[in-house]
Chains A and B, each alone.
Chain A
Amino acid sequence: MKKVTVVFIVLLLTVFAFSQTKLVFWTAPNPQQEMFWKEVVAEYETLHPEIDIEWSTIPAAGSSEEAILTAIASGRAPDISTNIFSGFAAQLADIDQLVALNELEGFDELVETRKMGSIIEGWKINGNAYVIPIYSNPVLMWWRDSLLKEAGFDNPPRTYSEIYEFSKNFVVPMERYSIQVIAGRNWWDRWFDFITYYYAAGKGKPYIDTERMRAAFNNEVGQEVAKFIKTMFDNQWTAVDLGTDPFYTGAIAGTLMGPWSIAYAENQYPKVVDDIVITPPPVPDNYPSDQPIYTFADAKGLVIFNTTDHLEEAWEFVQWVFSREDFDSKWLEYTKMPPAREDLLTNEIFADFWEANPLAAEYAKYVPYAIPPAPITTTVDVQDIMTVELVEPLMHGTKDVQKALDDAVKAINRILW
């Protein structure tokens, strides 16, 4: 009898194991996000014992893109992955690796439930929604209040001229600079300088016309931004190599930052946190004061790969995750990064969090005005040219504003066309 029971249990377990559907799910290698997904996956598995989610962070590699592409090449792509930015999504869609989520049943309801109707518009690639945006991180300006006051400024500078004025009062060459204007020389740094300034100065105008596939920043707005960068460098009010964490050490009074820096500041420089004032990015002098200021959104989303054998199950899991408001609340709690929803400030569920986290609340205000990068397949080349033809010549004073813009746009159009 005993033997029969043992055999029966073994058989039952075997049948159970084989009847489970396995979903491979990759998420960003980030401790806060890992904590969030671990709990979410565990809850789903408890509710759906027939689904086994093989959850892991994106394997260690030079970048998430590298790991995912290598996995695709070797036929080991996951079913679902997070940490996808719009440019990479466009590349993956271009090689037909992504499921067009808008063609799946229940997509419109999900968009409505999660209040992401207008946000998802900015993510569409050739009219299709391949990505569910998870978070939308506006890039905003951080100021050191004490340093502003030292230079006689009770309020942070809002316009370019106000920054010039502040710089004249504050800068001591070799000691301290007013703001960090250029984030660095890698291609992705353009997201955190020129593109942010351009979105701010141009009320969210796109820098690439994706309909005509043309660079769209050789205009009055582009000139204002380029002139601002050049003026700051010409007068040595800013520098590139400011060392690590210049904002926290007081080597600069202002810089563009994303909300991910809040947790870093709280952990590494707790004494500086109370000194931080957050404003939108600076704008040209003639920018109307009653108009909202737009900015760049460092946004990442989730995709389903069309190599999946379990599309229905994968889509059900995705729908379940994003229809739960309490998950967005938990995400916010763990990561401090605003979920990509339009009701962040009106939804009661987030209210307590904003009250306890005033710096994160500033970011929430700008989510509706934060625009993701252009969904093009040539992001790397476009932004590399922006660096070499536009930003670096302005920094080193080797070209005037118009020539830098002309050269950059000409070279970018050659790639886009």
Chain B
Amino acid sequence: MSKRKGLAKKEARKGFGISSIYLIYAAIFWGYPFVWLFILLFSKWRFVGSPQFVGFRNITRVLTDPLFWKTVTNVFRFMMYYIPLVLIGALLFAIALNKIKFGKTFIALSFLLANVSSGVAYSIMFSNIFSVNGPVNKALNTLFGITIPWFTSPQWAMFSIALIVIWKFIGYYGLILYAGLTAIPKSLYEAAELDGAGSLTKFFKITLPLLNPSIIMVLVLAITLAFGIFTEPYMITGGGPMRSTLTPMMHMITTAFQRMDPTYAATMAVFVAMISFGMIWVIRKTMEREVDLV
């Protein structure tokens, strides 16, 4: 009995030793910044000296800052274009990839190239393509006699940025959905076919419900991305026109490092995190279904 106890202790020590690597890592890179963030939330600090306690001043300042809420609204506008389009696009990509017989890896990798390409590089590329005298506007003008102010109109600018981000992520999300599709047993479709189900019925009654975990995962990733978007508006529109593409991340970075107000930026970061977590929670609560494939 005592031998077994000793062995259990030994095992426990071993387990603790292995997991301590992660615990130390988390304490340094997650715990410490989290405590520091909490301190900044209630203080005034300008990179030097000790933070001065200011109570809830930073929080009330965020609540009454129209610029911050404008950036949050901009994120919702971005999501309004981004989420449905990227989801439909990625789903079509996944279905197409599932049907392809040859060259699957090549096609998947081609789509993933967009995802791994430099944000700065493709932002420059798209700003050329969509410029006022660029190829897209020239083609539109020749074919239909119209031009679109892609980045110069407050109504269009965020949509144009959403299009660029969709291009970047369609392959990545598509592969997640593709993995979900391949996990659906073929026998389910065969059984449905025997029962006389058509393509649409199969899609809506089998594919879509069984893809629920993958779709939720894509949604969570898309929401997280929307609240952290920075490179594309920073490089292409600089947050304009009329601040219509200014994102919370851009606002936080300029506030912390150019306005030298890191405590206020930290408070905004907490709000952004709460809003995005809130959204994810709502999505999971309302849309997530337990799927049993066996």
Contact = CB atoms under 8 A, between A and B. Distances in A.
B89 interface: no
B227 interface: no
A185 B237 contact: yes
Interface string B13-24: 000000000000
Contact of A95 (B46, B240, B259): B46
A362 interface: no
Given A65-B258, A174-B138, A185 B239 contact: yes
Given A240-B132, A380-B259, A388-B243, A174 B147 contact: yes
A52 interface: no
A175 B48 contact: no
A72 B48 contact: yes
A251 B134 CA distance: 10
B98 interface: no
A97 B257 contact: no
Interface string B137-171: 11001000001001110000000000000000000
Interface string B112-137: 00000000000010011011111001
A267 interface: no
Contact of B238 (A66, A175, A189, A243): A189
Nearest to A175: B133
Interface residues on B, range: 20 to 34
B88 to A, nearest CB: 28
B241 A396 contact: yes
B interface majority secondary structure? loop
B39 interface: no
A176 B133 contact: yes
A73 B241 contact: no
Contact of A244 (B128, B152, B254, B256): B128
Nearest to B239: A185
A159 interface: no
A241 B260 contact: no
Nearest to B130: A241
A188 to B, nearest CB: 9
B25 interface: no
Nearest to B237: A185
Given A69-B47, A73-B47, A185-B241, A241 B152 contact: yes
Contact of A97 (B48, B256, B262): B48
A104 B149 CA distance: 56
Contacts of A379: 258
A59 interface: no
A66 B252 CA distance: 12
Interface in A66-103: 66, 69-70, 72-73, 91, 95-97
B242 interface: yes
B120 to A, nearest CB: 12
Interface in A14-34: none
B152 A240 contact: yes
B253 interface: yes
Given A69-B260, A174-B141, A243 B133 contact: yes
A241 B241 contact: no
Interface residues on A, range: 35 or more
Contact of B241 (A66, A70, A244, A392): A392
A174 B137 CA distance: 8
A19 to B, nearest CB: 31
A241 B131 contact: yes
Nearest to B236: A241
Nearest to B258: A380
A279 interface: no
A387 to B, nearest CB: 7
B47 A239 contact: no
Most A CB within 10 A of own CB, among B151, B238, B253: B238
A63 interface: yes
A40 B131 CA distance: 44
Given A185-B237, A185-B238, A388-B242, A63 B133 contact: no
A189 B237 CA distance: 12
Interface in A224-267: 239-244, 251
Contacts of A395: 152, 241
B33 to A, nearest CB: 13
Contacts of B124: 244
A184 B238 contact: yes
B133 A242 contact: yes
B127 to A, nearest CB: 7
A108 interface: no
A73 B263 CA distance: 12
A97 B47 CA distance: 10
A127 interface: no
A379 B259 CA distance: 8
A326 interface: no
B151 A381 contact: no
Contacts of A242: 131-133
A381 B264 CA distance: 15
A239 B239 CA distance: 17
B253 A62 contact: yes
A239 B137 CA distance: 13
The 9 closest A-B pairs by CB, nearest first: A185-B240, A185-B238, A243-B131, A186-B238, A66-B257, A243-B128, A239-B132, A73-B47, A380-B258
10 contacts: A72-B48, A174-B132, A174-B138, A239-B133, A241-B134, A243-B131, A377-B260, A380-B259, A381-B259, A396-B241
Interface of B: 46-48, 124, 127-128, 130-134, 137-138, 141, 147, 150-152, 237-243, 253-254, 256-260, 262
Given A239-B152, A241-B150, A380-B258, 7 more contacts: A62-B253, A95-B46, A239-B132, A241-B130, A241-B132, A380-B254, A392-B242
